Structure 1
Amino acid sequence: MTQSTPDRPRRITIHDVARAAGVSLTTVSHALNDRGVLDPATRARVKRVAAELGYRPSVRAQRLQSGRANCIALLSSMPFAVAGGTSRLGFMMEVAAIAAEAAMGRGLGVVLVPPLEGAGGLLDTLDIDGAIVIEPIAGDPHIARLRERGVSIVSIGREPLTDTPVPCVDLQSYETARLLLAHLHGHGRRRIGLMIGAAPRQSYVETERAYREFTQALGLPCHVVKAAEEHGEAAGAEACAQLLAKMPGMDALCAPVDAFAVGAMAHLQALGKRVPADVLVVTRYDGIRARSAQPPLTAVNLHLERVASLAVELLFAHLSGERGRTVITGPKPELVVRASSIPGA
């Protein structure tokens, strides 16, 4: 029992409630947890006495009794150079804020977990009921560890290159890529380069497929460069140089990773090329990095507020034993046109 001190009064226990209400420990437990068959008046009296005494249930006892931590993890293997930004309000943090609000509405807490290389043994010891993994890579080590623990998992973006992916909210990456490419082509651009991340993520897989199909169908040159996510904007600049070497007359660039797009624009401008007069540039995530770029980047509204809420709903359903639904299609992506892709802007 917790000892009382002048600064910390003794903690009220279930035994105190039972004595004050004149009932058994079992009756108190059933009354406070709304279980068992009790006279309504007795149940109400026990709850009233508990409130008057200032009783607060032990979190540890509740955990042992229910087997639930009432907490979920949110994690991503994407380096912070891409997932965040100079404002620290990048893709992951936007999803985290919305997911936390949705989870709290269901009585769940949310804890953010850094990529494994920076997390030590945290993922192995964290007391959680489930996890949401943002855009996992093929063979994602986070998913592997969570599966070993028997933790329920949902991903935002499909787990790639596997026949048995975890339940997910589909980000419609193929449709997003087609939307961006059609926009560039609609402005008369015919030498469109593609810059994606080197990691095996479903969004990159689907974007590259959409690009190759798009250029082949229209008889356009096809040039893809892959950049290292951990190098952020610097990787975008380097990849842009590689694209220009392959396609000197490149007049448009599709760089779905916003950090790559910003780095590519800086490289183009350093070469004296004007954006958008000489090269149109578009990206995927419509975040602060895209909006604050110079010129501001055309991007896509992925409706992350709905995506994150759907992920929490799907995970909550699986935690509740409702495992029939494994894939939810996210909202339709919408183009947000800005100066980076408006000729003459």
Structure 2
Amino acid sequence: MGDSSRPSRATIADVAREAGVSRTTVSHALNGLGKVNSATRDKVKEVAASLNYRPSVRAQGLRSGRSQALALLSSMPSAVSAGPSQLGFFTELAMGCARIALLKGYVFVLAPPDGDANPVDRLDIDGAILLEPAADDPIAAALSDRGIPFVVIDGPAGERTVDLHHEDTAELLVSHLVERGAQHPALVVGTDRRRSQAAAREVYEAAAARTGFTPLIAEADESDGEDGGYRASTRLLAEHPEVDGLIVPIDAFATGAVRAGVEAGRTVGGDLLIATRYDGLRARTSTPPLTAVDLGLDEISGAAVERLVAILDGGSESEASSASAPTLVVRESTSGRA
């Protein structure tokens, strides 16, 4: 049985009747539209407040042709973007985006990465934020095909993008390990050529040429997550026992690298230094805790939402946004030999 004691929700017709005006006048008065004199506008607002009237979001969407919904999308495997805890890079960005979107009058939809599944055709959204797209990213193609505006967090040159400063981040990590005494640092990256991985390679190889160490790069499939980082690091340490530092931009790979180092009889933070890119849950709860980079994700997520809403409201599409420079968070994993 239904709950007969539950009060019915006031409608726009109720407000119009109590205020003695038409529904159109109520709509215009509450939304700042049309030519409604101030006395009438004030009366309508007073009546709406007394009736606890709340406009129907669904009805507003039907009138405007908008869903007032935005989404965060990514083709990155969940093994590296979220992980078993589901509290990784993707989720932290989503929470920041959701807070700003709500202030802008939009709800925020989280569509977690799901293997080869493309969520675009299942979503009723006005726009999207695409996180670190791969080359020829299928989600970017699907958004373009449907004519859905989107902003990219760290996309290819020429895209409407919010920069994650991958080059600066990679420089922080490589320089830090060298400064802490690593003479044979190696790099562990994903096989996917996302911009973050490409930047890490370029900065690392430039540092090797500049400093004089022999570059060693191991790869792992992103979809393998921590186990992929573990296997790549195990092979690297077995084949090159001189390696005394690992730069591991993907944090899931970094925790795998810690496991590989311990099993190889190395002391992480002593004769093996390890640093990663994202200062998230994995870095903070690793044993030992990992040196990482504060990417300023709150600022990045806010800039992305602001940019997307500006485009939806008819603003220029040519401007790119940039967050503040990343900062290094030094922890026990790079403390160096006593």
TM-score scaled to structure 2, two decimals? 0.92
Matching of residue 274 in structure 1 with residue 294 in structure 2: no
Q: 1:205 to 1:266 in 2, by over 3 A?
A: same
Aligned residue in 1 for 2:281: 288
Q: Which segment drifts farther, 204-213 or 269-278? A: 269-278
Q: 1:65 to 1:309 in 2, by over 3 A?
A: same
- Tell me if structure 1 keeps the 8 A contact 2:77–2:115: no
Q: Which segment drifts farther, 201-210 or 130-139? A: 130-139
Aligned residue in 1 for 2:181: 188
Give how far 1:297 is off: 0.8
1:68 alignment partner, one of 61, 66, 69: 66
Aligned residue in 1 for 2:22: 24
SS of aligned partner of 2:124: coil
**In 2, Cα distance between equivalents of 1:99 and 1:71:** 12
Aligned residue in 2 for 1:254: 247
**In 1, Cα distance between equivalents of 2:177 and 2:9:** 66
Give how far 1:51 is off: 3.1
Matching of residue 104 in structure 1 with residue 102 in structure 2: yes
Paired residues for 1:113-262 under 5 Å: 113-117=111-115, 122-159=119-156, 164-165=158-159, 167-262=160-255
What whole-Å deviation, never above 9, does each CA across 1:294-344 have from its counterpart, x for those lacking one?
111111111111111111111121122112443222211111111111113
- Tell me if structure 1 keeps the 8 A contact 2:289–2:333: yes
Q: Percent identity?
A: 46
2:92 alignment partner, one of 94, 97, 102: 94
Q: Which segment drifts farther, 45-54 or 187-196? A: 45-54
**In 2, Cα distance between equivalents of 1:178 and 1:283:** 12
Runs of 5+ in structure 2 lacking a partner? none
- Tell me if structure 2 keeps the 8 A contact 1:113–1:119: no
Give how far 1:153 is off: 0.8
Q: 1:235 to 1:117 in 2, by over 3 A?
A: closer
Give how far 1:8 is off: 5.7
2:293 alignment partner, one of 282, 297, 300: 300
**In 1, Cα distance between equivalents of 2:268 and 2:101:** 42
Which residue identity does 1:303 align to in structure 2? G
**In 1, Cα distance between equivalents of 2:269 and 2:30:** 65
Give how far 1:260 is off: 0.7
SS of aligned partner of 1:250: coil
Runs of 5+ in structure 1 lacking a partner? none
- Tell me if structure 1 keeps the 8 A contact 2:271–2:337: no
SS of aligned partner of 1:132: strand
- RMSD of Structure 2 on Structure 1 (CA): 2.1
Give how far 1:204 is off: 0.5
What whole-Å deviation, never above 9, does each CA across 1:192-217 have from its counterpart, x for those lacking one?
11011111211001111111111122
Q: 1:270 to 1:302 in 2, by over 3 A?
A: same
TM-score scaled to structure 1, two decimals? 0.91
Give how far 1:77 is off: 1.6
**In 2, Cα distance between equivalents of 1:317 and 1:326:** 11
**In 1, Cα distance between equivalents of 2:96 and 2:125:** 19
Q: 1:276 to 1:39 in 2, by over 3 A?
A: closer
Which residue identity does 1:68 align to in structure 2? R
Give how far 1:58 is off: 2.5
**In 1, Cα distance between equivalents of 2:328 and 2:10:** 57
Matching of residue 312 in structure 1 with residue 309 in structure 2: no
Which residue identity does 2:246 align to in structure 1? L
SS of aligned partner of 2:44: helix
- Tell me if structure 2 keeps the 8 A contact 1:85–1:289: no
SS of aligned partner of 1:199: coil
